[in-house]
Amino acid sequence: MEDSLEKNWSVKEVLELFGLPFSDLIYRAQCVHRAHFDPNMIQLSTLISIKTGGCPEDCGYCSQSARHPTAVENRPMLSKEEVVAAAKLAMENGATRFCMGAAWRGPKQRDLDAVSDMVRAVKALGLETCATLGLLKEGQAEQLKEAGLDYYNHNIDTSASHYDEIISTRDYGDRLDTLEKVRHAGMHVCCGAIVGMGESREERAELISELANQSPQPESVPINHLVQIEGTPLYGAERLDPLEFVRTIAAARITMPKSFVRLSAGRNEMSESTQALCFLAGANAIFYGEKLLTTGNLEVGRDRALLDKLGMHAMP
């Protein structure tokens, strides 16, 4: 089979993957997955929102934008002690990475100092660390790396062509610029997208090609299904067919063979069968823990039961 690692994926080629008969697509995804990973192993990351709500940005999907009338309120930043206590619990439950999210356009210097302290403390527990704090300015990625940050999450969210329908307060190029800073500082990149935001299949193929054509490819690729939040502009958007979601996962796996493809937001509204199909299509990471940032996720016990049922084991 062709080694797709250094391959440049055109939108047309990705669209052809989407158009394969379902069984052929899953078979290809499985072949690629098994060439690079233990197919029964899954990586578990736990999220925490260290600063919730009151965000100045206007992302159309987000509960935390101050511009949308949602039930989420502007809360102060958590203390280091609160964050460390949550990280300990995540570790006891079996997570190997702890991801700290903040509702900012980007961190101010004072915020970054506080987050750096949290990163140091979480890292000292023996967990991998990840943060998602928005756009980074010159020098900020280096400071986070210095504090022991392993991964920085910054999503392209959607295709360049659909982007303006979703966000107006920062552009696609701003995002690429932050991703470049993360790479340059020597951190691992976690970069993915959200589907189910009214995009077409072609736009889904476009976003997969944009993720896959990053060089090097992101180590971690979260594929989120939109969690519809009352009060946001995207509330009421047409739900994606679950099998189209599975196809998106398969396309990510085939085009990014060595990346961890994370079945991310939206699992709470997904059947076990759909999740199992996502794993079959090459997803090998999930967010694990009762909460994502502001919305619910599956209970730890239910996730453990699902993994047991599928004979899957958590990455040590």
State the nearest-atom distance from the C-beta of 90 to ligand SAM, in Å: 18
| Helix/strand/coil percent split, the chain, to 5 | 40, 15, 45
DSSP 116: H
Q: Tell me which amino acid residue 194 is.
A: I
- In angstroms, give the least distance from the CB of 21 to ligand SAM: 29
Q: Is 103 in the site for ligand DTB (CB under 6 A)?
A: no
Instruction: Give CA separation, 84 vs 50, 109, 119, 171, 282, in Å.
Output: 11, 21, 9, 34, 32
What's the rounded Cα separation, in Å, for the pair 310 and 316?
18
Question: CB-wise, 14 or 141, nearer to ligand SF4?
Answer: 141
User: Least distance to ligand SF4 from the beta carbon of 295, Å?
Assistant: 12
Return the residue of 26, 42, 189, 226 that touches ligand SAM, per CB under 6 A.
226
- Residue that is written with structure tokens 């295709």 in the block: 159
Our CB check for ligand SAM shows the closer of 25 and 119 to be 119
Tell me the number of residues near ligand SF4 by CB under 6 A.
9
Is residue 63 a contact residue for ligand DTB (CB under 6 A)?
yes
- Shortest Å, Cβ 2 to ligand SAM: 30
Residue 242: name its binding partner from ligand SF4, ligand DTB, ligand SAM, none (Cβ under 5 to 8 Å by kind): none
Which tokens in the block code for residue 181? 């800073």
Among 255, 253, 249, which Cα is nearest to 267's? 249
Residue with tokens 């697509």: 25
Name the region of 65 (left: φ>0; alpha: ψ -120 to 50; beta: rest).
Answer: beta
190 as an active site residue: the answer is yes
185 vs 194 by CB, closer to ligand SAM: 194
In whole angstroms, give the CA distance from residue 200 to residue 14: 13
Stretch that binds ligand SF4, among 8-16, 22-30, 39-47, 55-63 (CB under 6 A): 55-63
Query: Which of 35, 71 has the CB closer to ligand SAM?
Result: 71
Site string for ligand DTB, 152-191 (x = CB under 6 A): -x-x------------------------------------
Q: Which is nearer to ligand SAM, 33 or 51 (CB)?
A: 51
d(CA 109, CA 206): 35
Chosen residue from 17, 47, 134, 153 binding ligand SF4 by CB under 6 A: 134
- CA distance linking residue 78 with residue 44, whole number of Å: 23
Catalytically annotated residue among 175, 262, 267, 278? 262
Is 34 designated active site? no
Residue 293 near ligand DTB by CB under 6 A? yes
Length of the chain in terms of residues written: 316
Cα separation of 205 and 200, whole Å? 9
Task: Provide the token pair at 1.
Answer: 């089979």
Select 175 or 253, whichever has its Cβ closest to ligand SAM: 175
Residue 222, C-beta contacts closer than 8 angstroms, at least 6 positions apart: 153, 155, 190, 191, 192, 193, 262, 264, 265
Distance CA 210, CA 150 (A): 23
The site partner of 144 among ligand SAM, ligand SF4, ligand DTB, none (C-beta below 5 to 8 Å per kind) is none
239 a catalytic residue: no
Residues interacting with ligand SAM, by CB under 6 A? 61-62, 101, 103-104, 132, 134, 154-155, 157, 194, 224, 226-227, 229, 265, 293
Residues interacting with ligand DTB, by CB under 6 A? 47, 63, 101, 132, 153, 155, 192, 222, 224, 227, 264-265, 292-295
